[in-house]
Structure 1
């Protein structure tokens, strides 16, 4: 690899189940060897690599001889527990060929929703990188329930990119990238090579998982790309079977679909609001408040609140929407739902007389808000 061609120095590589199995029911060990070789070459060239790997349940099924089991949460967790050990063992053996050590980080959504645990995960990830160890990240499916799951490794990999301040996220899948139509049904579909803005029309192009083995389709990759690029991370969606794909993408080769990072990335606290915190409720705004929040860089005042949905406490994250339900922002609310019901539509100077106390003049401060 030509060192002068390397465009990125800290990279998160996300491998989907369809890439790891090559569309079969078991891990494609030969392809895993090739992927490990590419990442090892990057490490030798001075690029720090974080691996976000799917495939635990597929590995568990393979190791147990494909048992026929009821489709229950407990059985999925059992397969993940068995498969995760096989997955990390496989990667450990492969990277040991290149005298590289790996460290496993199993995360759930709950680990990222709590600010302190989020920072602890970040410190662990950075410590591994500082010592030349490849962090291998997966969702902790053996203990995660629906309520605390991130849900897919596309979004988990975006969170990993934010945690370690990566400058590139590579999402490898069974497609060459994002197309302007479904390539499985339309032979004239064209690859979209560059994306500057992710809008509703682009989201409509996203389809589901081809193989049915993974939990993430193209729509989750768009969500992940949007979150990462807002934090200043370039994103590439590409085929995991393209020759030397990881190395070529790191050297800025024209492969797959490239999502350009925003010029002014969010600071750390807002990154957590965007991808780490759980939304506990909804605050519905009038048109004036929406304009003030989205176009004028203002905080949300109680006078602009029309209605509240959900039960949330002071300090919880809420979505800010219009009356049709379109989400414009996320932020940390300074008043509970109960309090906000009493002061909605009123001027800030009447908060204390309504509640008997106040936590300031704003409902969601600009510094605690991410405009979407």
Structure 2
């Protein structure tokens, strides 16, 4: 596999997730506003080159801790949740104010790892993030620390960022951290530690090199970053670890600053199609000849083209798509079997009247099927 440089990988990416660590954004309980405005300039430059951008940002608990005057060190669970509640407002406002001068609208999305593991909630998250990107918004994603107790105790935004990258089909995940890449050992304690510029495959040896957190504010050490890399690269998404403390950290990557690139294993689209195709179907959706032709042309499956629904399934479950010529492939249902049967053969504008709520246009979206 050809070696990829961080600069080339970032410059060529078309859908980028940027993860910001707490230690970069917050210092002594206060926002590093100048640093954030420099980052916003870099994000705007990525957007100007045609890339979609999502930010996964830590910092709500650190900001809330400072605002509430909570002591240093470990916080009780209820204190962490209270700090997150106060800090989330400040975090969202800070990003809004930093991006607005560049004509960019920011949107807040609060997730937990469970939202990306439950298929129904995963589809909702994917649809919301895709819609925001289509509207030109930069989503600011954070863990919903005010209610997700397990995530506060054990979670980290490195892995959440990887899950977000997989969810939206990103081709690059950038982890801005307080280290400038993956080292053979901890560079703070081992002068002979060697930094890797490129990792083609995540081997057991690479995983063994991951140490413990190097920051008192961040829950994510190198171990979680390598875990994030495994998740992202398996879905066809490259990943970069780069130091983010300096101003214009993303521009620094483009200018050749130290970093480590983890190579993608395939591309996001084919990886996702393979994931869907490997699922065990829970039902069958039969379509007419017109719908079969539309699907072969890369279009979504609309209810009007459905002739029959077999089996029992829920939204997000895999179903076989069957046309006059036979089985066409698998897709993730946008409706339950009962709802799909009710709207089968009907125009999309009739869905709300039949189901008594405004539904989705597609019964199976083209991005959610493998033909």
Aligned to 2:260: 257
Deviations 1:202-228, CA, capped at 9 Å, x for gaps? 112112222211110000000001110
Q: Name the CA shift for 1:65/1:206 in 2 (closer, same or farther; >3 Å).
A: same
Tell me how far 1:78 sits from its aligned partner: 0.7
Shifted more, 10-19 versus 25-34: the winner is: 25-34
Tell me how far 1:59 sits from its aligned partner: 0.6
Residues 110 and 148, structure 1, Cα contact 8 Å, conserved in 2? no
Aligned match for 1:195, one of 199, 204, 210: 199
Residues 77 and 152, structure 2, Cα contact 8 Å, conserved in 1? no
Tell me the SS of whatever aligns to 2:242: strand
Tell me the SS of whatever aligns to 1:88: helix
Q: Distance in 2 between matches of 1:103 and 1:267?
A: 26
1:349-368 to 2 correspondences below 5 Å: none
Unaligned runs of 5+ in 1: 275-372
1:305-344 to 2 correspondences below 5 Å: none
Q: Name the CA shift for 1:164/1:175 in 2 (closer, same or farther; >3 Å).
A: same
TM-score, normalised to structure 2, is 0.67
Tell me the SS of whatever aligns to 2:65: helix
Residues 233 and 261, structure 1, Cα contact 8 Å, conserved in 2? yes
Deviations 1:105-144, CA, capped at 9 Å, x for gaps? 1011232221111001000000000010001000000010
Alignment of 1:16 onto 2:9: no
Alignment of 1:158 onto 2:162: yes
Tell me the SS of whatever aligns to 2:42: helix
Aligned to 1:339: none
Aligned to 1:138: 142
Q: Distance in 2 between matches of 1:77 and 1:272?
A: 40
Tell me the SS of whatever aligns to 1:171: strand
TM-score, normalised to structure 1, is 0.67
Residues 196 and 260, structure 1, Cα contact 8 Å, conserved in 2? yes
Q: Name the CA shift for 1:41/1:271 in 2 (closer, same or farther; >3 Å).
A: farther
Aligned to 1:267: 272
1:34-53 to 2 correspondences below 5 Å: 34-53=38-57
Q: Distance in 2 between matches of 1:260 and 1:84?
A: 33
Tell me how far 1:240 sits from its aligned partner: 0.5
Q: Distance in 2 between matches of 1:254 and 1:70?
A: 34
Tell me how far 1:34 sits from its aligned partner: 1.0
Q: Distance in 2 between matches of 1:230 and 1:131?
A: 28
Tell me the SS of whatever aligns to 1:267: helix
Tell me how far 1:263 sits from its aligned partner: 2.4
Q: Name the CA shift for 1:46/1:162 in 2 (closer, same or farther; >3 Å).
A: same
Deviations 1:244-302, CA, capped at 9 Å, x for gaps? 432354x594640000001265325838999xxxxxxxxxxxxxxxxxxxxxxxxxxxx
Aligned to 2:333: none
Q: Distance in 2 between matches of 1:257 and 1:241?
A: 16
Shifted more, 226-235 versus 71-80: the winner is: 71-80
1:1-372 to 2 correspondences below 5 Å: 6-21=11-26, 24-66=28-70, 71-146=75-150, 151-242=155-246, 244-247=248-251, 249=253, 251=254, 253=256, 255-263=258-266, 266-267=271-272, 270=275
